Structure 1
Amino acid sequence: MRVCFQLQVRPDRLDEYVRRHAAVPPEMLQAIVDAGRRDYSLFLRDDGLLIGTYETDDDEAARRALAEDPRTRAWEAEMADFFVALDGRPDQGAPRLREVFNLEEQAAAAGLAESREPAETGRPA
């Protein structure tokens, strides 16, 4: 399953938030992997809107695993101060967004072949 969530980073902490995520501690990265999350990305808008996405087989199990993992406690405690109006841990308090369109699923349902190649433009190379 794919998960998308939204948070708001405090405007005065944007640069520091970006710096902290440029080199996440290896033990935190391993905790995320061990919890079963993959293809995890964060996207940050200039006004602090943060959108995160990841894939997992069982989101509730992944959330529980991270909540119980001692490797995540210090990182999440430090990160909580970066967010506006966060209720609880960042992993638990982030509102989930509902997926309303997925190209791969609809293309497969329509019997269209999946292509990873760029579309032909009709222009000479």
Structure 2
Amino acid sequence: MKSRVAFKMKLKPGNIQEYKKRHDEIWPELQELLKESGVSEYSIFFDEETNSLFGFQKVSGEGGSQDLGKEEIVKKWWAYMADLMEVNDDNSPVTVAMPEVFYLA
């Protein structure tokens, strides 16, 4: 069974174009890891007023993309993206889980 996961992150001002470019060129091995881990239908939306990013993904398995921090390729991706967004000490994005309050199938 798949679950839906949503979270928000914060982009540093003026970085949306570079953020989008890097995701348009996502590394194939990272994309493969996400799919192998059960992540699908992964989208990230941008709120220009607040520089907030809203992530949504369907997940089959134990967790979503934010739970893959022990994988070397994920650590490299986080370091690659750290200059664009708010991050924790380990370069993981500062994320806030968003509970689902409505769903229409």
TM-score, reference length from structure 2: 0.81
Q: Which has more radius of gyration?
A: 1
Uncovered stretches (5+) of structure 2, i.e. residues with no partner: none
Could you say which structure has the higher helix fraction? 1
Q: Which runs of 4+ in 1 moved over 3 A?
A: 58-64
Identical pairs, percent? 27
Uncovered stretches (5+) of structure 1, i.e. residues with no partner: 105-125
1:62, CA displacement in angstroms?
5.8
- Cα RMSD of the aligned pairs, angstroms, is 1.9
Could you say which structure has the higher strand fraction? 2
Aligned length: 100
1:57, CA displacement in angstroms?
2.4
Equivalent positions of 1:1-125 (< 5 A) are 1-47=3-49, 48-60=51-63, 63-64=66-67, 66-84=68-86, 86-87=87-88, 88=90, 89-90=92-93, 93-104=94-105
TM-score, reference length from structure 1: 0.69
The whole-number CA distance in structure 2 between the counterparts of 1:4 and 1:73 is: 21
